[in-house]
């Protein structure tokens, strides 16, 4: 075709005008689309308000600033850990939205208005639409584009459970405990998104027992009356090995009175303190030889007004001379996962105050056990002395059995 036009300048000019007109129509069609074809990245922003070509029939550079997104137009399998960023090459952004059928992603403009960054990560298997406008004082532009995130199975997501419960009042020894149903490999990345704040403020640290469990405790016991907020902001955070956080968790709880119970296995006595005041000294019995009660700092884990206690659950087989199966042990409060409780033991009242005859539990009269049960809550502290068997960190809420200097070395950061 170029050979036939080489001697006909006027025809060449007409052809150029016609071609420019076709290009102009193409630009209008692109900017008006309602899907991935409608998105603009660098250099694709619409120009004039009507999106048309110039009267001369030659495509000009768009009059508004280019708008960039850090996710490619039409992309699929976008990681849920992505924080969407939108920026204007010049001038400033106007309205920016990133939305899906499930809702809108939160975000904020920079101080100079040149960029917008999401504060929320993304949900799996979801299509998002990005809409943005920009203006540089000489012209405006707009962008619309879509992308889809990678779908994830439940095995590729980890869900955080948090103790204490939201709204719970706990004792001064209660640690914050976050458990994950799928192990976290990148603990440091997760810990950056897990915060504990309190009023009044108290220094503390995270301690990772393993990839499925992290604790946080203050340097010293909580101050009575402290208000605590836990923010586990891990939704979409990369946990490593192809695993991502499944959901954020926010929990607020209150610290109650300082209940500290001091048990001396040698004198067979328990001293009950509340906010530093001695309320009662109670005769008790603890574990006999072969079933020695552990010394150290324990924390009440859970309470039962009635509980069945069977020796088989602690490794004593049925038929043994030490076997027992008591179906209604009253006012029982668990101290260790291995089976140490404080509870009513009316069968050992004659030994309470003068001998250790239990299988490791701390036995009280029914009256004293109910009195203590009624005032106690999860997180109250029980400090044991008088035996040569030590409490271990992972056998219950054992967080207070190591120095704070050692505790903080188990943080991932």
The one catalytic residue among 215, 268, 359, 361? 361
Rg of the chain on CA atoms, in Å = 34
Cβ atoms of 69 and 86 within 8 Å: the answer is yes
The phi, psi pair for 155, rounded to 5°, reads -70, -15
Instruction: Report strand pairing: 259-264 vs 381-385.
Output: parallel
**Cα distance between residue 226 and residue 256, in whole Å:** 8
Closest Cα partner for 343 from 313, 304, 389?
304
**Cα distance between residue 149 and residue 27, in whole Å:** 28
SS3 per-residue string spanning 136-181: CCCCEEEEEEEEEECCCCHHHEECEEEECCCCCEECCCCCEEEEEC
Say whether 361 is catalytic. yes
The one catalytic residue among 259, 268, 343, 359? 343
Counting beta carbons within 10 angstroms of the beta carbon of residue 362, is it exposed (0 to 12), middle (13 to 18) or buried (19 or more)? buried
The dihedral through the CA atoms of 173, 178, 181, 186 has a sign that is negative
Cβ atoms of 121 and 108 within 8 Å: the answer is no
Q: In angstroms, what CA-CA distances link 311 with 205, 215, 318, 332?
A: 37, 30, 7, 15
**Cα distance between residue 245 and residue 154, in whole Å:** 10
Say whether 343 is catalytic. yes
Instruction: Report strand pairing: 194-199 vs 227-232.
Output: antiparallel
For the annotated catalytic residues, the residue numbers are 343, 361
């Amino acid at each position: 075709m170029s050979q036939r036009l080489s001697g006909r300048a006027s025809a060449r000019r007409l052809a150029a005008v016609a071609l420019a007109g076709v290009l102009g129509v193409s630009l209008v069609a692109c900017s008006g689309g309602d899907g991935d074809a409608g998105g603009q990245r660098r250099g694709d922003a619409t120009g004039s308000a009507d999106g048309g070509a110039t009267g001369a029939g030659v495509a000009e550079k768009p009059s508004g600033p280019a708008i960039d997104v850090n996710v490619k137009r039409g992309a699929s399998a976008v990681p849920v850990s992505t924080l969407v960023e939108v920026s204007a090459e010049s001038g400033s952004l106007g309205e920016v939205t990133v939305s899906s059928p499930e809702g809108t992603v939160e975000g904020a403009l920079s101080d100079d208005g040149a960029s917008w960054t999401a504060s929320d990560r993304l949900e799996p298997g979801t299509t998002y639409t990005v809409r943005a406008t920009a203006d540089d004082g000489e012209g405006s532009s707009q962008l619309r584009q879509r992308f889809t995130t990678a779908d994830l199975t439940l095995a590729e997501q980890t869900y955080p459970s948090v103790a204490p419960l939201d709204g719970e009042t706990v004792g001064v020894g209660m640690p914050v405990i976050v458990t994950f149903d799928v192990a976290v490999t990148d603990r440091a990345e997760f810990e950056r998104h897990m915060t504990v704040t309190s009023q009044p403020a108290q220094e503390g640290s995270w301690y990772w027992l393993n990839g499925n469990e992290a604790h946080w405790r203050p340097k010293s016991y909580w101050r009575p009356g402290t208000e605590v907020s836990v923010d586990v902001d891990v939704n979409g955070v990369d946990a490593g090995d192809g695993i991502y956080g499944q959901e954020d968790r926010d929990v607020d709880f209150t610290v109650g009175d300082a209940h500290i119970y001091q048990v001396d296995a040698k004198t067979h006595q328990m001293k009950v303190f509340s906010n530093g005041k001695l309320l009662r000294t109670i005769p008790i019995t603890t574990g006999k030889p072969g079933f020695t009660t552990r010394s150290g700092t324990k924390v009440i884990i859970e309470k039962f007004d009635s509980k069945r206690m069977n020796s088989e659950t602690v490794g004593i087989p049925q038929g043994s001379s030490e076997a027992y199966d008591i179906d209604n042990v009253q006012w029982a409060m668990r101290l260790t996962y291995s089976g140490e409780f404080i509870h009513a033991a009316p069968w050992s009242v004659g030994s309470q105050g003068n001998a250790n005859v239990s299988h490791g539990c701390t036995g009280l009269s029914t009256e004293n056990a109910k009195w203590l049960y009624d005032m106690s809550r999860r997180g109250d502290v029980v400090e044991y002395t008088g035996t040569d068997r030590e409490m271990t960190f992972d056998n219950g809420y054992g967080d207070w059995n190591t120095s704070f200097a050692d505790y903080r070395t188990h943080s991932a950061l």
